[in-house]
Amino acid sequence: YAYTALADIYGFEANSLESYTKKCSDTPFIGTLYSKAPIFSYPGDEFCYYDDELEYSVYIHDTQETFDSLYFTENLSNKDKYVTFLGGNNGAVQISSNANTGRKLVMLKDSYSHALAPLLAAHFDEIVLIDMRYFKMPISQFMQEFQPTDVLYSYHVMWFSEDKNLFMLRN
């Protein structure tokens, strides 16, 4: 899956699925693309996430709130379960860990990356997820201030080809 491919690219050893605790919602998940072409007999997907034992701090820049979990589990019973991952769509979300790798990652991403970021969090001291639809600071200024060691563009291919905000990366 994407996480193991990125482990090879970024040069770290991927954790096995067995090293995580799998947690699932009691009700099925039906996502955004389903609403565009519904199949009325479709029962939905099982909605699960994989939690590790590390400690994280999640800072949502838009609201200036800090949380101690990568997962907002109160959303598991909602229709939009995807908000369980990092609290939903925000301009910038910063994940801090005690990984002690000396590495800092910037993820320029859409909402599909919210499921990937928690798996990467164990391998970086800090990850900042930037959603270009909502991020207002010039990217060049942010990069100079944050000084990432790694950058990842993580988009659903359909949205990447249509994102009108990517022009902001030109400088």
Boundaries of every domain in the chain: 2-170
Closest C-alpha among 43, 33, 18 to residue 111: 33
pTM (predicted TM-score): 0.86
d(CA 79, CA 90) in angstroms, rounded, equals 19
d(CA 111, CA 9) in angstroms, rounded, equals 22
d(CA 7, CA 150) in angstroms, rounded, equals 12
Question: Could you read off the pLDDT of 73-105 as tens digits, one per residue?
Answer: 998 988 888 889 998 889 999 999 999 999 999
Binned at pLDDT 50, 70 and 90, residue 31 comes out as confident
29 three-class SS: strand
Question: Could you read off the pLDDT of 8-23 as tens digits, one per residue?
Answer: 999 999 999 999 999 9
Of the chain, the percentage scoring pLDDT greater than 70 comes to: 87
85 three-class SS: strand
